[in-house]
Every structure is written in structure tokens, then in C-alpha cells.
Amino acid sequence: MKKAVSLAACLLAAAVLAFPAEGGPESKISLGLSGAVALPLNSGLTDNYGTGIHFGGTVNIALSPTLSIFVDGRYHAFGIKSGAYGYPSSATLTGGGETIFSLIGGVKYLFPSEGSVHFYVLGGIGLNLQSIADLTAQWTVVTIGYTATYSETRTFGSTAGLGIVLGPGLQVDLGSSLAAFAEVRYASCLGKNMYLPVLLGLQVKI
């Protein structure tokens, strides 16, 4: 995992050096910061977790006025729901939150536009690291003449695997070097979780 992240960082640094920024509107490189909510999609997430949050950064390198490549690093966090993993809804759950760190590289296409508003689509593939914190559940069963308290701890650990993103976006130019953007992405840890990050952010040319 550490080797993969180190290799991706080296590739990103090489790409940045290969396209030196000249400043102003002719700059080929832009940096974006964004975050908002992430909606769980498949039953593995929706049964156990509620709407999550995420934040991250993106490096874009323009190959033409409409086509660019990007590298995106993002941290997602999903809080556990009452009654998750089949425990009684009255159970007290401690821990169990799921986090997903994604490092994705891909391509973005901006549809030609004469104004300051641009629609685009993007797609990418990369590495996802999923972690679920240890979960402790405690609950009490009360019947006539009988009361018992139960406690259980579950350990999940971390897994790494292939991740993909696809989706549309909207970019609004705020000047020659600054833009605001919004995206809706379909994101998937292949064979495991699917979720829908909604991004709101700012992008600046350097």
C-alpha cells in the first residue's frame, strides 16, 4: 500500500514538472480543493451507515482547452447507524465508523462554451483503502423475571483495492485564474462499496 502511494506521488510530481506553469490564463496546472457529502448506494453501506462527509484535493493538467488529466486524493467518512450489523436498535454502538481514502487518476473533458459556465464529464481509476474501526455493541434484554446485558466487540480491519469514479460537473469561471465547481460522482470500491460523493469546491491556476 505504501509503495503504491509513493509511486503515485512520484508520478504526480513528474507530471507537474513536465508541464511548468507560466501563470495567468495560460497556465496548464490548476489545484482544486473540495468537499461536501457522500451518499451510500449499495446495501453493504446503506444497511449500516448514514450519509457521510468527504474532503480532498485535485491536481489538473490541461492538455488542450477542453481536455485535461487529473489526480484526486479524497478522504470519506461514514458514521454507523442505529441497528447496524443486525444489532438491536436499542443497542449502544461505539466505534464502527467506515473510512475510505481514494487516490484516483483520470481524464476530464470540458464541453466547449463561449461564456463563463462550462459543463464537463470525468472518469478515473485508482486505489482505494477502506477501513472500519472496531465496533463494540452493548444491549440489555428484559423479560418477565429476567434481565441480561450483553456486550460484543467486532474487528474489521482494512482492505485495499481498485476504485473508479465517473460523473458530470459544472465549472463557473470567477476570473482568469479562479473557478468554482460542483460535481456529482459515482464512486465504487470494485466488488465492495458504492457511493455518490457530491463535491463543491474552488480551483485556482498556478
Residue-level length of the chain: 206
pLDDT, tens digit (0-9, with 9 covering 90-100), for 147-199: 999 999 999 989 999 999 999 999 999 998 999 999 999 999 986 889 999 99
Give 10's pLDDT tier (boundaries 50, 70, 90): very low
Nearby residues of 18 by Cβ (< 8 Å), 6 or more positions away: none
**What confidence tens digit (pLDDT) does each residue in 46-95 have?**
999 999 999 999 999 999 999 999 999 999 999 999 999 999 999 999 99
Q: Is the pLDDT of residue 2 over 50?
A: no
Burial of 142 (0-12, 13-18, 19+ CB in 10 A): exposed
Class of domain 2-85+100-128+158-205: mainly beta
Q: Residue ranges per domain, the chain?
A: 2-85+100-128+158-205
